[in-house]
Structure 1
């Protein structure tokens, strides 16, 4: 589980760094859309990598991020993939 937490933490941090936005700035930006977060609560959430999908989307929205690239991990993808099967397709 911690690998997923680390991955989402790195995604959010990299988007913030890319735009030159500090956690203090993020708190102010979130406040403008009615989300009450302090710099320290944001620090904690990002440090742990344990935050809700809602928080993640709120952050991405206020910083103007419309697209993110997610690295693919072959071993993790195989867990959710369908079993290999031969399908007979009609022409």
Structure 2
């Protein structure tokens, strides 16, 4: 099953990283256009991945991202995503 919150979170984080923009920078940029956000509120939203489409569009707009390639992004997800299978714990054998 697709975790859409995780995809949205990774999409926003990757666009910020591409542009060298921190969450603090994003808060300043959003405040400059009248959107009241703090670094802490942005950290929380991105960490949970549970933010509105409106918030995503606001962020993408202020950072200058006007085009995203969903197909390209999905292929990148396969390379950078956490493993689907749980980690195996090796027992110390003596």
- TM > 0.5: yes
Separation of aligned partners in 2, 1:5 and 1:30: 21
TM-score normalised according to structure 1 size = 0.75
Where do 5+ consecutive residues of structure 2 fail to align?
A: 76-94
What displacement does 1:2 show? 7.1
**Shift >4 Å, 4+ stretches:** none
Check if 1:47 corresponds to 2:47.
yes
TM-score normalised according to structure 2 size = 0.73
Aligned residues: 73
Check if 1:31 corresponds to 2:31.
yes
Aligned residue number for residue 66 of structure 1: 66
Aligned residue number for residue 84 of structure 1: none
What displacement does 1:40 show? 0.5
Aligned residue number for residue 15 of structure 1: 15
The Cα RMSD (Å) is 1.7
